[in-house]
A and B are shown apart, each in its own frame.
Chain A
Amino acid sequence: MNRGPTKLAYAHRHLLAIEGLEPAEIAHLLDLAESYVLLNRSGQTARDLLRGKTLINLFFEDSTRTRTSFELAGKRLGADVINMSVATSSVNKGETLLDTAATLNAMQCDLLAVRHAQSGAPSLLAQKVGAAVINAGDGMHEHPTQALLDALTIRRRKGRLEGLNVAICGDIAHSRVARSNIHLLTAMGGHVRLVGPPNLLPAGIEELGAAVFHDMKSGLAEADIVMMLRLQRERMTGGEVPSAREFFRFFGLDSEKLAYARPDALVMHPGPMNRGVEIESRVADDPERSVIGEQVEMGVAVRMAVLDTLARGPRRNI
């Protein structure tokens, strides 16, 4: 990698993962996103920036929220935005993936946001397409734009990331959001505390630099941020968690458990929420503590920053 004086602010063709990004690259994306927050709030747009560029949202998994956020980000920068939802019911999904890559190359797309149920699918696609690929969530691997929008939300509220205690709670094992957040926050000098039942914490996760707790009281101690994760319904029926009520009793966030954290601790959730399972409505809707709505706003700004940054790279012909 070029580390000389001409070093780029962001030295990659794609955004496939937070892991491997330099702190300066993360800071660059956050700073640029910050400027888009101001632009968006002023009601202005920057429709010249990506004029003539094409963004394709390629979603192999349903996600209204993330897809809409990318769509809005692209449109605010003047890109032509196409949404492609690919049925995942076909037997051989992998063939579809590479066939789709060939189709996209023929379409001369510049930017590609990919959501896929399989870890590593965006990396595979990135090897085969000319466009810059943004991982919009792959399996249990990473969800880099979510971590960036979480970091931007935290930084705007707390003024920094360094030295903050961030507790991430719930189903860490199946969470790409957790993994991207661990990489980002530890890279930026934050302290990550993971809280959940042992069977929802993946093997060796502490080697990523996070501390592990199995009860909310010790896990939330000194926390500046309490980040709740979604627990998939199908995991609460006896396979991994005996019942939703048992999970809520021990790991659901209510006012009582929130009191274990710092008095000014903020509550976050990547959405969509299971109210009454991992989070109580009173906490989720508390304007003093919850920044869940703000996360959505930051999502658009962060995705604008990512699209802007990646669009500056050349398109490869494949």
Chain B
Amino acid sequence: MRDALFRGVRLLDPASGLDRVGELLVRDGRIADLGGGLGVPDGAEVIEGDGAVLCPGLVDMRASLGEPGFEYRETIASAAQAAAAGGVTTLACLPDSLPAIDDPALVRLLAARGEEIGSLSILPYGAVTRGCAGEALAELGLLREAGAVAFSDGARSIGPALLMRQALSYARGFGAMIVQHPEEPTLAAGGAATEGPLATRLGLSGIPAAAEAIQVARDISLSRLTGGAVHFSRISTAEALALVRRAKEEGIAVTCDTAPPYFDLNETAIGDFRTYAKLSPPLRPESDRQAVCAALVDGTIDAIASDHQPRDADDKRLPFAQATPGGAGLATLLAVTLVLVHNGTLPLSRAIGFITAGPAKLLGASAGRLAAGGAADLCLFHPERAWQVVAGSLPGKAQNTPFDGRALEGRVLGTWKKGRLVFG
């Protein structure tokens, strides 16, 4: 492979605090050098940045791939296309596929499929329980040994307190965190929207915000009890965020992420029964959206995940309560995160940190940084270039975006995986 020199780029590496205009040299799939005044090696390809931002390839800590089991929604290959177009080069995939990722061979298979496709490193989560069925513990030790990056039951909340206690306690011995969908199952059962005036008006069964807070409060207590690390996925309410904030002050091993819909949309997006905006957890009132923004600013939230959940038209063209929740998120992760920069909520380097260094640290992955000697996983983007989200013309197979019609600023110009151009 020829050497490649990025020239005239704004080098942005939240992990090291680097933010300067300069050059970056790629050799043999690795970052050979970066900084200022690098000369052009003989025969090197020169990529002119014209002031665009060059940051680490994005790290998405929560996505479903559709494969195995739901290939009609998305395959690993089509998700990889969407990821590349969105600047994502490392992705942690949920285990609640069919079959569930509860066997070491399946962990190895997924990682190998990523290697085979070449544009995306896949970090598989292992199932907490066999079949992600919420009953018996899966073989956490063997899964970890095979490369499971952490444990989760995906969209299913780990319900019984005793089971959660065992999972936290046992996983601790293998140095892995439990990634929880924080929603008390009995309170959430049958719900389609956040409980409140909007759900009442539409005649939809509500899920109270308390369902999230109760599970978060309980699991914080269990983390305190066991010493096991708990991570709450796409946290969405002010009440739960206040609990996490307090637990962090106390030094408990608790972390959390959110996803773009929860800081960019509120419950009114479901409008007149728009099923593309039916998500889990459901979109929340404006006050919760603002609380999520505030928790990003003060660092209560550690990462932003795409929460990519591919759905087919048949999953969504249904009466609201029957439609499958979930939104496509890979292609919009960067641009919706940049909304927080354009509206003055976050500086650029912090925003990018939430989708690179932040999740990489949580996952214990070496990705998400610009460092000499590291893999040349790179994302080149123009922070102001405008585009519009149009369901039906997104990269990849899944088109179920809750951001349909949204005008965004921030476009990926190119994505490189181990020095090889995979998008752009």
Contacts and interface: CB of A to CB of B under 8 A. Distances in A.
B is bound to A: yes
B196 A203 contact: yes
A202 B317 contact: no
Interface stretch (A51-59, A136-144, A246-254): A136-144
Contacts of A97: 318-319
A98 interface: yes
A142 B203 contact: yes
Interface string B297-323: 000000000000000001001111111
Nearest to B194: A203
B200 to A, nearest CB: 4
A123 interface: yes
Contacts of B208: 203
Interface residues of A, number: 26
Interface in A191-220: 202-205, 207-208
Given A95-B314, A202-B206, A204-B196, A120 B201 contact: no
Nearest to A128: B317
A140 B195 contact: no
Given A118-B321, A179-B201, 14 more contacts: A94-B314, A116-B319, A118-B319, A120-B320, A121-B319, A123-B273, A139-B203, A139-B204, A140-B203, A179-B203, A202-B199, A203-B195, A204-B200, A208-B197
A19 interface: yes
A140 B196 CA distance: 14
B112 interface: no
Given A19-B201, A123-B272, A142-B203, A94 B196 contact: no
B314 A140 contact: no
Contact of B322 (A94, A141, A176, A208): A94
A157 interface: no
Interface in B365-421: none
A208 B206 contact: no
A94 B317 contact: yes
Given A179-B203, A203-B206, A124 B317 contact: yes
B322 A119 contact: no
B98 interface: no
Contacts of B200: 179, 202-205, 207-208
Chain B interface size band reads 20 to 34
A118 B196 contact: no
Nearest to A120: B273
Given A120-B273, A204-B197, A139 B321 contact: yes
Contacts of A140: 203-205
Contacts of B47: none
A246 B320 CA distance: 34
A93 interface: yes
A176 B195 CA distance: 17
A208 B272 CA distance: 17
A94 B206 CA distance: 21
A203 B319 CA distance: 22
A120 to B, nearest CB: 4
Interface string B313-341: 01001111111000000000000000000
Contacts of A93: 319, 322
Contacts of B198: 204
A118, A120, A138, A207 — most chain B CB neighbours (10 Å):
A120
Interface in B189-229: 195-206, 208
A138 B200 CA distance: 13
B181 to A, nearest CB: 23
Nearest to A208: B201
A11 to B, nearest CB: 17
14 contacts: A19-B201, A94-B323, A118-B320, A119-B202, A119-B321, A120-B273, A120-B320, A124-B317, A138-B203, A141-B204, A176-B203, A202-B199, A208-B197, A208-B200
B319 A120 contact: yes
Contacts of A142: 203
Contacts of A208: 197, 200-201
A138 B204 CA distance: 11
Interface in A113-130: 116, 118-121, 123-124
Nearest to A174: B203
A178 to B, nearest CB: 10
Contact of A124 (B196, B205, B273): B273
A124 B323 CA distance: 12
Given A97-B318, A124-B319, A207 B203 contact: no
A123 B202 CA distance: 11
Contact of A203 (B197, B202, B203, B314): B197
A220 to B, nearest CB: 23
Contacts of B196: 203-204
Contacts of B322: 93-94, 118
Contacts of B205: 140
Contacts of B197: 203-205, 207-208
A94 B319 contact: yes
B340 to A, nearest CB: 29
Given A94-B319, A97-B319, A116-B319, A141 B199 contact: no
Nearest to B315: A94
Interface in B246-269: none
Nearest to A119: B203
B213 to A, nearest CB: 15
Contacts of A207: 197, 200
A176 B200 CA distance: 10
Contacts of A118: 319-322
A124 B197 CA distance: 22
